[in-house]
A = this chain, B = another copy of it.
Amino acid sequence: MPQLKGALIALLGLVGSAATAPSGCTSNSVKLQWVGDTPDYTTGTTFGVPWPQGKFKPNDTSFSISGGMDMESWVTGYWRDGSVKWSAHAIPPIEDVQDEYTIKASRGSTLKTGSISVDDSDSEVTVDTGKITVTFPKEGNSLISSIQTASGKTVGRNGKLILHSQSTIADDAASRTETSIDYFNFESNIEKVEVSKDSSVRALVTVRGKYQLQSEGEHDDWLPFVLRFYLYSESDSIRVIHSVVFDGEADKDFVSGLGIRLQVPLAEEELYNRHVRLGGAVKGITGLRRDPGEEVRSAQFEGKETPNIDTWDTRVSSRMQWIPEWNDYSLRQLTADGFNLKKRTKPGQSWIDISAGTRSSGLAYLGGATVGGLAVGLRDFYKQYPSGLDISKAASDNGEITLWLHSPDAEPLDLRPYHDGMGLDTYEEQLDALEITYEDYEPGFDTPYGIAKTSEIYIHAFDATPSAERLGQLSKHLQAPPVLYADPKHIHATKGFGSYWDLVDRSTPRAATIEDNMAFLNEFYQGQVDERSWFGFLNYGDVMHTYDNDRHTWRYDIGGYAWDNSELSPDLFFWQYFLHTGDAKVYRFAEAMTRHTGEVDCYHIGDWKGLGTRHGVLHFSDSAKQGRIAQPQYRKYFYYLTGGDERVGELLTETLDADKTYGKLDPVRKVREDGWVPEPGKPFTFGLGTDWGAMAAGWLIEWERRGPRWEEAREKLTNTAAGIANLTNGFVTGSATYDIDARTLTAPPADPNNEGIVEVSHLSAVFGAPEVISEALEYWGDDAPEGFKDAWLDYCYYYSAPASEQEERYGEAFGKLNLYQAHMRLTAYYAQQKDDKDVAVRAWKEFYESTDGFLADQEWAMEEISGPEVLLPIHEAAWISTNAAAQYGLAGIQGLALARDALEEYSPPS
């Protein structure tokens, strides 16, 4: 296959004729709706909309939205022919939010309608939204040098990232006396600042850097971070996505505080007109023994400027010096279920308790009635515990507001292994242990080096202290930032996310039961997160792998059964279930999972960049580092729906290097018998399911996005697919030899002459391969490598076919496999592609009669257990494993999409 450099321009040309004669059944107008209830407050919204192949030409399509709103539009995904597959759109804050909008695509160029203004100089980037002007320096420690309101008030200054770390942790309270700890303070140090070009409604400022030591001692710059600041036209809010990669040493570098801090200038404000929306006024004038006047009191409570102090009752005004000034405030959410809030007059004095409760909304404001100020909040504040909000120096000229992503009041982030290896030195011992704890251990592999964490932050600027109502709206906004998405019928019709799912159809009892069951699974997992407290900085977004029926608990402490790390693709189930239903809770759940599995469970730097870690007690403890866990397909839905979330886009890019890891790490090193040793750049063998499936997803997405490496990606995808097609037994071959430089795939070493071997794994098709292949085949269309589709359809047909048919086709049967319920969707895909009703019925037979998933006679119920045998009351469904749940869900969704009619024709065994 020839190199395709420069093909983008050519393709853009090619699509011309298609755009003039649109194909497909979709209209040019697409309804947009909110995920969940219509919000009462928005701060600017970005969303994605898919379009059918061949319909809209990127350089000759104009988008508009109903209500005459400003909108900035760009393309995030292209069809093979260069037509728009996914567009992204940004709209400003909405005054009077409607339940629905309509987006319209038409020929022509879009006029710029937003009023955002960007100044990108050598030293700084300045963005003026019309409401606020924010300045981002290009070097130093301050990420934001100032936030100025339209009226000219500087309400924020000197915004920095703050990091504290320490060299060790005392083992217990007693050992503090003999533990010598070095403490370090770091701040953000800017390395690179970029701003989006041609911004009209939305400007994105991307700041990269590392944390740099500010205190005594020695420590390298570390923890590379990337901050993305999203600013919208006419908005006074800034959305901030903070991502950080751990590149320290687990036993020497303990993060003991990670946050973002901004200064609020207060010099011009009287103390009694300074407000802390957490803990009252800096100098309170309510509740005193003498009354300054009702107007004075109510002004302070409402955050308005008080009448001039000369007008107050002098019994108060003459004694202002005796009223304490409350300088510092601290809200700490150190567990998911409890926060406390306190304040002090100054360092060296004791704190006093203000209040306490279960789950804080995680928003705080510092400012003045006349000088204005800032509110800062962390999304999912309690779910991301240990989190915190500090207001400091509120009685000084420059108050500070610090949002802690990891509170310094919590115990430090401890990324050390949870066991000492237990003497598991040899592969033989490790494989033996795998037999009992299901943990795949190997010394040194339980490392957090290279994992990441992303947090979502909002900064709101005010000309004056906002009302309680406004802060209430912002709190609500923080819990579930509004999401607009396209009519799911439209999404389905465009094939923007393939054709393997469809909308809910409960028109027959059987379909309705499957729908009920899938709804049950979603509700169950959402409930388990809360009941099992699957919360926390490193944990939130994940679920557990397997239940321990004896103990009424998930197997949180048993090797390979604890954190799920996307095992058997719950990410896919929840995202496809969202597409299928539009359920808001599912969206939020899947979003959290995407943010977790993409960051914490994967490596983002180093030799394992692009790989993830197999399920385990710690998210990074298992020694199986594989591409299947970093499967880009898991991130794809969120990526396009959000108009191309830039952080997730970066994660997708990272996986393009996953094929290089095979030159450094042999995934099957513990069972290999041929003595092969990996060597960078040299050909290696990989699996055609989990390995190739993950790489193929990354290549396809890069091609779709026309990313910087899209031609390399297209070639790798197409060549390897062609290679599979050329294997005598296609996918049934199980593995193949990949030449990373030549970008070719050939028969595996065990079958040098490509005579055809049979090696089928139950895992090959349960980590996204079916979705990727289905989408890739649609993407290639007529241009698919010859024989590739047939190779896949063969695999789909034969995986669950009778042994006799397997034998007839491949010369030998596949033997007893597993996950036949899961694989019914491959059978269904075959049936749909071949329009073969008999095979479609066979798919449902596999769905209902397999004994390796949920049984047909399963009672879909949870049991409530609240007796003494459990620590806390829980809902239990001991028959559910995440493997089974995810694959049942995918079978259900795809079976209903691909073999709906045959469902009614299936006859259960009598």
Listed in ascending order, the chain A residues whose CB lies under 8 Å from chain B are 162, 164, 166, 171-178, 183-185, 215-217, 251, 256-257, 278, 280, 284, 286-290, 297-298, 300-301, 315-316, 319, 321-324, 326, 334-341, 343-358, 390, 392, 408-409, 411, 414-420, 422-424, 429, 432-438, 467-469, 471-473, 475, 532-533, 535-536, 539, 546-551, 553, 555-558, 560-561, 617-618, 867-869, 871-872
Contact of A557 among B352, B417, B872 (CB under 8 A): B352
Cα distance A533–B256 in the bound complex, in angstroms: 28
Cα distance A344–B171 in the bound complex, in angstroms: 11
- CB-CB under 8 A from A422, the residues of chain B are 321-322, 324
**A355 CB, min distance to chain B CBs, angstroms:** 5
Cα distance A617–B326 in the bound complex, in angstroms: 13
Contact of A173 among B298, B345, B408, B868 (CB under 8 A): B408
Contact of A618 among B352, B354, B468 (CB under 8 A): B352
Contact of A301 among B324, B434, B535, B550 (CB under 8 A): B550
Q: A176-B164, A341-B871 are in contact. Are A411 and B414 (CB under 8 A)?
A: no
Cα distance A280–B550 in the bound complex, in angstroms: 11
Pairwise interchain contact B316-A436, C-beta atoms closer than 8 A: yes
Cα distance A176–B336 in the bound complex, in angstroms: 26
Q: Identify the 3 closest CB pairs spanning chains A and B, nearest first.
A: A338-B338, A472-B868, A173-B408
Pairwise interchain contact B555-A356, C-beta atoms closer than 8 A: no
Q: A280-B557, A334-B334, A340-B335 are in contact. Are A357 and B618 (CB under 8 A)?
A: no
- CB-CB under 8 A from A411, the residues of chain B are 409
Pairwise interchain contact A284-B356, C-beta atoms closer than 8 A: no
Q: A335-B334, A558-B288 are in contact. Are A353 and B539 (CB under 8 A)?
A: yes
**A259 CB, min distance to chain B CBs, angstroms:** 9
Name 24 A/B residue pairs within 8 A (Cβ), A-sorted. Answer: A164-B176, A172-B392, A176-B256, A177-B183, A177-B185, A280-B553, A286-B550, A287-B555, A288-B438, A301-B551, A319-B432, A319-B435, A322-B436, A337-B337, A337-B338, A338-B338, A352-B556, A352-B557, A355-B533, A356-B535, A357-B533, A472-B868, A473-B868, A475-B868
Q: A287-B561, A322-B436 are in contact. Are A177 and B171 (CB under 8 A)?
A: no
**A357 CB, min distance to chain B CBs, angstroms:** 5
- CB-CB under 8 A from A535, the residues of chain B are 356
Closest to A548 in B: B287
- CB-CB under 8 A from A419, the residues of chain B are 324, 345, 349
Pairwise interchain contact A288-B436, C-beta atoms closer than 8 A: yes
Pairwise interchain contact B551-A287, C-beta atoms closer than 8 A: yes
**A903 CB, min distance to chain B CBs, angstroms:** 35
Q: A322-B437, A352-B557 are in contact. Are A339 and B337 (CB under 8 A)?
A: yes
**A804 CB, min distance to chain B CBs, angstroms:** 33
Q: A284-B557, A301-B550, A411-B409 are in contact. Are A338 and B358 (CB under 8 A)?
A: yes
Pairwise interchain contact A556-B353, C-beta atoms closer than 8 A: yes
Closest to A336 in B: B356
Counting chain B CB atoms within 10 Å of each CB, the highest count among A257, A288, A536, A872 belongs to: A288
- CB-CB under 8 A from A435, the residues of chain B are 289-290, 315, 319
- CB-CB under 8 A from A346, the residues of chain B are 420
- CB-CB under 8 A from A434, the residues of chain B are 289
Closest to A344 in B: B418
Cα distance A436–B215 in the bound complex, in angstroms: 43
Cα distance A546–B286 in the bound complex, in angstroms: 12
Contact of A287 among B183, B338, B472, B546 (CB under 8 A): B546
